[in-house]
A = this chain, B = another copy of it.
C-alpha cells in the first residue's frame, strides 16, 4: 500500500475517534460544544495524532489503547491555532479555507474554545490510561512532558516570541527558537507520547525523539518555503504573510535553494536514525518524503 493511502486511512481513524471523543454539539451550553467541534472537525492532516499511533507501531506496540491520547495531540494543536488566530494575536480570518473560530463564534467563545480543548486534552491522556489499562506511571510521565512541551518554555514561549517580537529585526536565533517550540515541540511530544505509553525501551524512545525533532524542522522549513512559492488555494490560507509581517523564515535568512537543501539533509538524517526498526519504520520514513514534497 502506498504511503498516501496509509496516511489517509490513519487520518480517517483519527477523525472517527475525535468525533466519538468530542462532546456532542447539543450538550449544554451548546455554543461552546458546537464551536469546539467546528474547529476540531474542520479537517487538517491529523499529523500529530497519526505520529502518536505510528510511533507506537514502529516499536511494535498495539496502538488501539493509545487512541484518546493520540486525539489529545490534535486538541492541543487545534487550541493553539484557535488562540493564535485571535485578533490580538495573528488576527487571521481564514483557517483551512473556513472562517476562523472567532470570526464564526466571536472572540469570547474562541478564547473559551481554546481553553476547553487544552483542558480536555489533559483529561483524554488520563482517560487513555484508565480505559486502556495503561500503567499510571507512564500517564503521569506523558502529562508532565505535555505540560512542559506546551508551556511557557515550549509552545507558548514560541508563540510569545513569534507574536511579540514579530516586528523587530529577524534574528536567526529567534527563528530557531520559534520553530523548535511551535512545531518541533508538538511533533516530539506526539511521538514520545506514542512510545512512552507503549512502554518502549529507552533506546527506542531516544531514537524516535531524535526522529521527531528533525521531522518538525523539515516541516517548518517547507512551511516557510510554501508561504513564498505555494498556492494559497491548495494551502487553504493566504501566502506571503511571513514577508508582510517581516517574520524571520528559512528562505528569508538563507535563500530558497539553501533552505530546501537544508530540509533534505535533515530528512535524510531523520530516516537514518530509524534504521534499527527495519520495516516497521516504513511509515515514519515515508512521512519525511511526504512532508518534503508536499504542495499543500
Binding site for B on A (CB under 8 A): 23, 27-29, 31-33, 36, 79, 83, 86, 88-89, 106-109, 111-112, 114-116, 118-120, 122-127, 129-130, 135-137, 139-141, 143-144, 146-148, 150-153, 156-157, 159-161, 163-165
Contact = CB atoms under 8 A, between A and B. Distances in A.
A152 to B, nearest CB: 4
What's the number of copies of this chain in the assembled complex?
A: 2
Nearest to A163: B108
A78 to B, nearest CB: 13
B156 A32 contact: yes
A130 B139 CA distance: 12
A114 B140 CA distance: 22
A214 to B, nearest CB: 23
B143 A126 contact: yes
Contact of A111 (B28, B83, B130, B165): B83
A151 B79 CA distance: 13
B27 A153 contact: yes
